Structure 1
Amino acid sequence: MHASRVRALLSALLFSSLVSGSLYAQALPDAPSQQKTHSALQGHIIDTNGAPVADAYVTLVNAKGANDQVIHSAADGTFLFNNLDPATVRLTVTAAGMETFISPEIRLDAGETGHIPEIILPIAPANTEISVVATQEQVAQAQLNAALHQRALGVLPNFYSSYIWDAAPLNFRQKSWLAFRSTTDPAEFAVIAIIAGVEQKRGTFKDYGDGAEGYGKRFGAAYADVVVSRFFGSAVFPSIFRQDPRYFYMGSGSVRHRALYAMSTAFIQKGNSGHFQPAYSRILGSVVAGAVSNLYRPDNNRGAGLIFRNVGIGIGGHAVVSLVREFVLRKVTSGIPDYEQGKPVAEITVAPPAKK
């Protein structure tokens, strides 16, 4: 490994450890009337030779969905964001011919001027495309692309588990793509095949009959239920209500606390703001799926009861699956970066400047 690459790696490790592992005491305001409500964030960008990087694009991405801010580094490589609202943010730094830098999450408190560790940008390989600005949508897309490689036991898709607690919210296109990928995955068809087999063995929906024809009808109906519920409950309604269809892995706390959290996600889900809300999207998705299923289920099974059946299965099934996501899937899922560990035990705080 070249010395420049080693230096860049050590810088990244130092940045991560200083940002995520240190909490600093903040000075008390002189008087309540002088208390500041806005924050600032500043830093310094250099290359692997120690020279300042001028005119780098520095993007501040708010994890809660607020507008992104973009500035350029000065001739000496410094940058400063002023008048920031207290929030959890990320920094993305890009410059022509240099590799892109993305920071861990940074917490800004009211009245704080945060100084982040020195950022070192290594030279990018010749075939690397340089993205000038990494917006919140691009961050969400990168996280989604990574999630689409998550498979339990190397086979079963685990696309809807987010191991980044404050993941960037998805837009309608991204939610729709996630729903499409999950419902067209070969493993999904295998699960539907098992469900149809169990229904046939138990004689569920008897008017479908037996044999290959009855099995085919059960398979088609079960798959239609999944597609309609997934599309409306995980794409359409989440976009209308600005909610996130994913399960956010907690990973920290007592077993009881994590279990209660997992089961509660049958009734609540995260909004794009990062706060939990009633699960309008998921429940309405089950209602729509139940209503639509009246078009293809046997006449004897149609009616309001079919809708309540879908809603009940949706809520109960989600609670069970969430428990599995919280306690089992993280251990057997491939494709999860080591830094994705769920809800942090302590919030990350940027170090305030030292008193002189």
Structure 2
Amino acid sequence: MHRFIRLQRRSRPRPFWLTLGAGVLLGAVGRLPAQRPVPAPNAAPPPTALGTPAVELPDAPDAGTVGGEVTDIDGALIPNAKVTLINARTGETHTESVTDQAGAYRFERVPAGTYRVHISAKGFSPWKVKDFDVAPQQAVILERVELGVEEITTAVTAITVEDLAEQQITNEEHQRILGVLPNFFVSYEKHPMPLTRKQKFKLAAVVSVDPVTFFTTGVTAGIEQANNNFSGYGQGMGGYGQRYAATYGDKLSATFLGAAFFPSLFHQDPRYFYLGHGNVVHRALYAISTTVMCKGDNGHWQPNFSNVLGNIGSAEISTLYYPATSQQSAQVRLTNSIIGIGEGAIGTLFQEFILRHVTSGGIAKQKP
């Protein structure tokens, strides 16, 4: 009976004033301003430059991080550069990584200590970042590393003056007028090297056995036979053969005496050195003077004994195979000497003003 009464009391309706007061209280609470969340005391600030205060790293309370960026000296990013983190105290590699496409690298969970960074990339010089300290819970950002172009080490081969001269005369041996006629005894080099005795004889031999030399000799002999020059040789194949041998003998003796033997004896250079600048008179006088003046192996100008004696010597030798009396022999010697020097002067004028422009091969094809 007692329990029943209590239950009846619980189910009794609440008074109106109590319900109204509860609603007013709830409405007031709903209008209170919301409180802002308080930041966690251990939240880590963003990484800063080398030497920033320690910050706490989540899940790694005793470790720090190291990061940076790699570019070239022009500021272009370098991806795939190898970055090695080295313990500065022990010299052992702690870990390695490579830069990403943005040229950046980052090492996580780095124990406290002193470190250095070594960076290398293909085509660039290696780089070492000086020692720095990493404290617990510290994020270290290293200064940007700018890699320079890799230093290329090549073997140095010593080259002698003789080697340089050999290169130059090799070029000269390819010089041909209109692509046909040999033009080997002319140098277009700005800094010509002196020739050795061996190189002088080599150049003379190359000219003497050139196919064009044999061909022009044949043409000259044919003209002489048609004009019946040196009638003592007669006509027919016998006469032509003797004229051919005499003409070739003149060329052979003049070349070896004037361009090899005497230049070696007097240490003179048998080549014509192209001037290519100055007014016409100056160049013409220079060209003509080279028949009596030449450059010595020492680089100084001197009397051209080689050319003068070469022509006289060739004229003397020619008396051995030209048909002539004793008076004719003297005449031939004098005539051939004068002709040789005169032809040389005309030839140098052609070399200075005309032949350079129609000579191919070697450096002659380059603009003066």
Aligned partner (choices 195, 205, 216) of residue 170 of structure 1: 195
Distance of 2:192 and 2:306 partners within structure 1: 19
Does the 8 Å contact 2:269/2:297 carry over to 1?
yes
Does the 8 Å contact 1:205/1:298 carry over to 2?
yes
Partner of 1:275: 300
CA pair 190-123 structure 1, distance change in 2 beyond 3 A: farther
Q: How does 1:175-190 map to 2 (within 5 A)?
A: 175-190=200-215
Distance of 1:131 and 1:303 partners within structure 2: 59
Is 1:297 matched with 2:322? Answer: yes
Does the 8 Å contact 1:229/1:285 carry over to 2?
yes
Q: Give the secondary structure class of the aligned counterpart of 1:212.
A: helix
Q: What is the one-letter code of the residue matched to 2:310?
A: G
Partner of 1:117: none
Distance of 2:361 and 2:367 partners within structure 1: 13
Distance of 1:204 and 1:156 partners within structure 2: 25
Distance of 2:357 and 2:151 partners within structure 1: 34
1:298-327 Cα distance to aligned partner (Å, 9 max, x none) = 133753222212211110111111111111
- Runs of 4+ in structure 1 over 6 Å off: 120-124, 338-342
Higher relative contact order (CA 8 A, sep 6+): 1
Aligned partner (choices 356, 365, 368) of residue 330 of structure 1: 356
Note the C-alpha offset of 1:131.
Answer: 7.5
Does the 8 Å contact 1:259/1:323 carry over to 2?
yes
Partner of 1:225: 250
Distance of 1:326 and 1:155 partners within structure 2: 19
CA pair 195-334 structure 1, distance change in 2 beyond 3 A: same
- The size of the alignment, in residue pairs, is 222
Does the 8 Å contact 1:164/1:341 carry over to 2?
no
Partner of 1:264: 289
Q: Give the secondary structure class of the aligned counterpart of 1:299.
A: coil
Q: What is the one-letter code of the residue matched to 2:359?
A: T
Partner of 2:277: 252
Q: Give the secondary structure class of the aligned counterpart of 1:252.
A: coil
Distance of 2:250 and 2:364 partners within structure 1: 35
Distance of 2:351 and 2:212 partners within structure 1: 17
Partner of 2:35: none
Does the 8 Å contact 2:173/2:362 carry over to 1?
no
Note the C-alpha offset of 1:335.
Answer: 1.5
Note the C-alpha offset of 1:203.
Answer: 2.3
**Percent pairwise identity:** 43
Q: What is the one-letter code of the residue matched to 1:306?
A: V
Partner of 1:201: 226
Distance of 1:234 and 1:165 partners within structure 2: 21
Q: How does 1:90-105 map to 2 (within 5 A)?
A: none
CA pair 286-50 structure 1, distance change in 2 beyond 3 A: farther
Partner of 2:174: 149
Aligned partner (choices 194, 205, 212) of residue 237 of structure 2: 212
Note the C-alpha offset of 1:165.
Answer: 4.1
Distance of 1:197 and 1:278 partners within structure 2: 37
| Structure 2 unmatched runs, 5+ | 1-122, 126-149
Note the C-alpha offset of 1:197.
Answer: 2.0
Partner of 1:311: 337
Does the 8 Å contact 1:164/1:340 carry over to 2?
no
CA pair 304-166 structure 1, distance change in 2 beyond 3 A: farther
Q: What is the one-letter code of the residue matched to 1:325?
A: Q
1:261-292 Cα distance to aligned partner (Å, 9 max, x none) = 11111211111122221110111111111111
Does the 8 Å contact 2:188/2:364 carry over to 1?
no
Note the C-alpha offset of 1:198.
Answer: 2.2
Does the 8 Å contact 1:165/1:250 carry over to 2?
no
TM-score in terms of structure 1 length:
0.58
Q: What is the one-letter code of the residue matched to 2:256?
A: F
Distance of 2:183 and 2:163 partners within structure 1: 21
| Structure 1 unmatched runs, 5+ | 1-48, 52-119, 125-129, 343-356
Partner of 1:284: 309
Q: Give the secondary structure class of the aligned counterpart of 2:294.
A: strand
Distance of 1:261 and 1:172 partners within structure 2: 26
Does the 8 Å contact 2:188/2:363 carry over to 1?
no
Does the 8 Å contact 2:356/2:364 carry over to 1?
no
Q: What is the one-letter code of the residue matched to 1:322?
A: T
Q: Give the secondary structure class of the aligned counterpart of 2:298.
A: coil
Partner of 2:161: 136
- Kindly name which structure, 1 or 2, has the bigger radius of gyration based on alpha carbons: 2
